[in-house]
Structure 1
């Protein structure tokens, strides 16, 4: 076994996550010791041996030919690890129990390590609920769209009618990330809702309805610690103006500045969720007003660096992980 030196950087992600490659290369060229680890390898190909002392959890995590001393890790990049992989021959109940135990044990031990986390798994989980995001954004002073979450057909119809009376459209957005399983990954697009679309099916599950913001363009604001990287995303088709994810080919990009009041609100929002990294979506109205849509604690950014050469998000991540400072 090879024991890494003090100050190891651990990148926790799936093997096919190409987003981390430029950061890992940068860190390696700086002489940093970087280990990639995927939670799918635990417990099958990775071995945890930890014990609790007065100073917290210590011990080792064996990953391939490397042995990580948990007390010598200076930073973690919790990117996009895979689900725990367990033997196919086990029955569903056994697999679910083993996965639950693996998650509680591994994440509980690793999550207690006093190192820089980008981001801590618990911090990522805290942003999973869009209603919580919107409430927090409103409290820190960011502008948000008029929004309801309902299973009440009467409330839903009244909301749509009131906005139509004011000359505004209403849209439906999925509250979660869409449908995902081992065989399916689908994103639910943003959809315009008319009064005739509102029927008893509203009561089948929670539904988010929101005023449609008139946009000059959108902004993806990527935050890495103290650094903010704002890119205007300009849509050139009707479909992409509603939801730019449906037609990336119609988009153009440019780097923009962040208004001071928005930057202050974003820093407060990052603090609320204990995030070091975040990808935040805004609509910018024709009068220049920024309206908050959502924050993704683990949002993608590499496509923006390819469109805006020299943007510097990867470098900022490498700097943070190499520095390892927790504040």
Structure 2
């Protein structure tokens, strides 16, 4: 007899990665309730009661209802934010905070639910300083990194560790002439740094003399490593130049992956490494909501099945 408890999927309307996971779950007769928190309250409603017996209640979309006490797993992947455009600026700000701490708080408190990943743990892990510190504690090699608003410190670091890269600490989307753009990773020299750096925080990092990149996707207890050859400083700038090869991790890497995830309370992570000329893997970052599905048709690795196994709670 199939388990009637649903998997709750929280994501934006257009998310092809989630689509393939939902199809896999449907093929396994696992019920799914999909929602976008940005639909609240127009096409998503909530009633949740908290008593001495715990949390219970329901979420209603236009086509599904989820019993909050029966959700077996929650797959949380980049939903849109709350918006109340019909309200004044001040009223909208109040409504957004109530939705975040109300609906968001309920979604973060589901009893007996497996989170992939918990939204609060995602938020913790998205801070690059925290990620790099945790990576060092987990046993990874990390490039020397400076976070500063001090021009003199930045210039001294750039001279000491040349070649050095500038990396955004977070990458909000810019719109230039109606086109979405992001700030790219770039080489920087001491002579390029002026006093404008004092305007905010910046991240500088020694550039690893790499021969390739590796994307490691950890899904529960399963690890999928893919070498990416491109010749690019940042392989994400031109997917047409990428070549993919499944590889095995060097000794010591896999335990460090799980130590890192355990530090943040995560069960999924998309890790990026640079491979240097000696074959050593250098930790760059881990995205707790990273993309992964594009690698499956390129490599044949059964990542979709692994994620469905995790959400179904068969592993």
TM category (shorter chain) comes to over 0.9
Given the alignment of the two structures, is residue 249 of structure 1 paired with residue 240 of structure 2, yes or no?
yes
CA distance in 2, matches of 1:49, 1:60: 6
Distance 1:45 1:261, change over 3 A: same
The 3 A distance-change label for structure 1 pair 67 and 105 is same
1:311 to 275, 278, 301: 301
- Distance, in Å, in 2 between the alignment partners of 1:110 and 1:139 is 31
Q: CA deviation at 1:324?
A: 6.5
Give the structure 2 partner of residue 105 of structure 1: 102
Corresponding residue number in structure 2 for 1:297? 288
Among candidates 274, 277, 284, match of residue 275 of structure 2:
284
**Contact in 2 for aligned 1:220/1:281 (Cα 8 Å):** yes
| Equivalent-residue separation in structure 1 for 2:82 and 2:190 (angstroms) | 44
Q: Output one character per residue of 1:134-159: Cα deviation in whole Å (capped at 9) or x when no partner.
A: 01111111100011111111111111
Return 5+ residue gaps in structure 2 as ranges.
none
How high is the TM-score relative to the length of structure 1?
Answer: 0.91
| Cα distance in 2 for residues equivalent to 1:111 and 1:49 | 15
TM-score, normalised to structure 2, is 0.94
Contact 1:173–1:209 under 8 Å retained in 2: yes
Bigger CA drift: 212-221 or 39-48?
39-48
CA deviation map 1:4-42 (0-9, x unaligned): x83111111111111111211111111111111111111
Query: Could you say what the CA RMSD is over the residues aligned between the two structures, in angstroms?
Result: 1.6
Which digits, 9 at most, give the CA deviation of each residue in 1:68-122, with x for residues without a partner?
Answer: 1111111111112111232x23111211211111010011112111211100100
Who is 1:235 aligned against?
A: 230
* Structure 2 partner of 1:60: 58
Q: Match of 1:216, SS?
A: strand
Paired with 2:73 and 2:147, the residues of 1 have a C-alpha distance of 38
Q: Distance in 1 between matches of 2:183 and 2:53?
A: 46
CA distance in 2, matches of 1:16, 1:157: 43
In the alignment, the residues of structure 2 paired with residue 276 and residue 155 of structure 1 have an alpha-carbon distance, to the nearest angstrom, of: 37
Alpha-carbon shift at residue 187 of structure 1 (Å): 2.1
Q: In the comparison of the two structures, how many residue pairs are matched?
A: 310
Contact 1:217 1:285 in 2 (8 A): yes
Contact 1:56-1:112 within 8 A present in 2 as well: no
**SS at structure 1 position matched to 2:294:** helix
Match of 2:194 in 1: 199
Runs (4+) of structure 1 exceeding 3 A deviation are 178-181
